[in-house]
Structure 1
Amino acid sequence: MFTGIIEALGQISDMQSRGTDYRITISTGKLDMSDVKIGDSIATNGVCLTAVELGEHHYVADVSIETIKRSGFAHYKKGQAVNLEKAMAATSRFGGHIVSGHVDGVGEVKSITDLGQTWEVWVKAPDSLAKYLAEKGSVTVDGVSLTVNAVNGAEFRLTLVPHTLKETIIQHYKSGTQVNLEVDVIARYLERLMLGDKAAQPNESNDISLAVLAENGYLK
């Protein structure tokens, strides 16, 4: 479990193909690795990865074909800058929102407006994720917990303050940048719960329809 509060900027220092998977080495920059053990999770651009080898300033992780298909790892290369966050401890302060490290899809930066101290950024999410985006709700972008300030269809607006720009890879964004997106986990589970017994039916009937909303008292 993560909070979306980035602890350090890292970099992919090695990336080896292993059939359909990858084994990657991440240089961890200023990330404190003293309490990290083999098997611990580190969010890497919002993707929960398991450390299989450790060094003082790096870790090695395996990236599965599932992760490659669902995230920006499909086009990452050696030298790629990444946001890093260690899994939170039970005693940690919850500074962002509940982040699982399970990326839902890849979005695209559509525009960036420099407002002086802040940036206004519009991101286009996959159409399938539009229903999970709500004004003043939370979204995770490349592992960063952010507030959605406006929604227009599958596009949403973010306002980035100087600290976020300085401490994350968002400072390198430009129009067309591909970003990992994780929607709010509560919205995902709520959608599934509303299906009730219909959740056991094949996937093609697992969409929330007007009939399902009416049956559950949400429509009159």
Structure 2
Amino acid sequence: MFTGIIQALGTISALENKGSDIRLTVESTGLNMADVKLGDSIATNGVCLTVVDFSDTYYQADVSAETIKHTGFTTYKAGTKVNLELAMRPMDRFGGHIVSGHVDGVGNVTKINQHKDYFEVWIKAPDELAKYIAHKGSITVDGVSLTVNEVDGAEFMLWIIPHTLKETVIGQYKVGSKVNLEVDVVARYLERLLLGDKAAQPATSGIDMAFLAQHGFLKN
């Protein structure tokens, strides 16, 4: 489990094809690798990866074809900067929100507006994720725990302070950038809970407008 508070920036130094998978090498002098062990997890732009080799200044992880398909790894190359966070320890401060490192989809940066004290970043999420994104709710973007400041359909807006721009890859975003999105896990559990006994039925049944109206969540 992670918190979405980025601990260091890293640079992808190599991507080695291994059949349908990729062996990824990430270099970082800012990440504290002192207590890292083989098999530990490191969130890499919000993707939970398992360490298969490491030293004081780098680690390697195998990225499956499934992960590549559903994340921004399809566009990564040697030299790409990534946000890094070690898995949370029980005694750590919980500064962000619950982050699993399981990316739900890839969004696109649609607009960036610079203001005096912050940047306004708009991101278009996949349509199927729009229902999980709420005003003042939490969302993870490339592993960063952020608060949603405005929602317009499947697009949402974030206020990014200068410190976050400096310490994460968000400072490199431009219109068209692809970003890894993980919605708040509480929203997913709530969706499942609302199904009630229908949760045991085949996956073809789910929550739709008729279901919400029947259970009093929509008013005429």
TM-score by length of 2: 0.96
Q: Does 1:118 align with 2:118?
A: yes
1:45-194 paired onto structure 2 within 5 Å: 45-194=45-194
Give ranges in structure 2 of 5+ residues lacking alignment: none
The amino acid across from 1:2 in the alignment is F
Shift in Å at residue 93 of structure 1? 0.5
The amino acid across from 1:25 in the alignment is T
Give ranges in structure 1 of 5+ residues lacking alignment: none
Shift in Å at residue 214 of structure 1? 4.4
- d(CA) in 2 for partners of 1:201 and 1:137? 30
Shift in Å at residue 143 of structure 1? 0.3
Which whole-Å deviations, capped at 9, do the CAs of 1:6-42 have from their partners, x for residues lacking one? 0000011110111221110110231010011111100
- d(CA) in 2 for partners of 1:218 and 1:110? 32
Instruction: Report the secondary structure of 1:203's partner residue.
Output: coil
Tell me the C-alpha RMSD between the 2 structures: 1.2
Shift in Å at residue 69 of structure 1? 1.3
- d(CA) in 1 for partners of 2:203 and 2:70? 18
The amino acid across from 1:153 in the alignment is G
Shift in Å at residue 216 of structure 1? 4.0
Contact 1:12 1:78 in 2 (8 A): yes
- Sequence identity percentage: 65
Contact 1:12 1:25 in 2 (8 A): yes
Contact 1:141 1:179 in 2 (8 A): yes
Which whole-Å deviations, capped at 9, do the CAs of 1:53-106 have from their partners, x for residues lacking one? 111111110101111111001111111100000001001000001100000000
Shift in Å at residue 113 of structure 1? 0.6
TM-score by length of 1: 0.96
Aligned equivalent of 2:35? 35
Which whole-Å deviations, capped at 9, do the CAs of 1:148-193 have from their partners, x for residues lacking one? 0000000000000011001000010000000000000000111012
The amino acid across from 1:187 in the alignment is A
Instruction: Report the secondary structure of 2:5's partner residue.
Output: coil
- d(CA) in 1 for partners of 2:121 and 2:29? 26
Instruction: Report the secondary structure of 1:31's partner residue.
Output: coil
Instruction: Report the secondary structure of 2:157's partner residue.
Output: strand
The amino acid across from 1:209 in the alignment is D
Aligned equivalent of 1:213? 212
The amino acid across from 2:39 in the alignment is G
Contact 1:194 1:216 in 2 (8 A): no
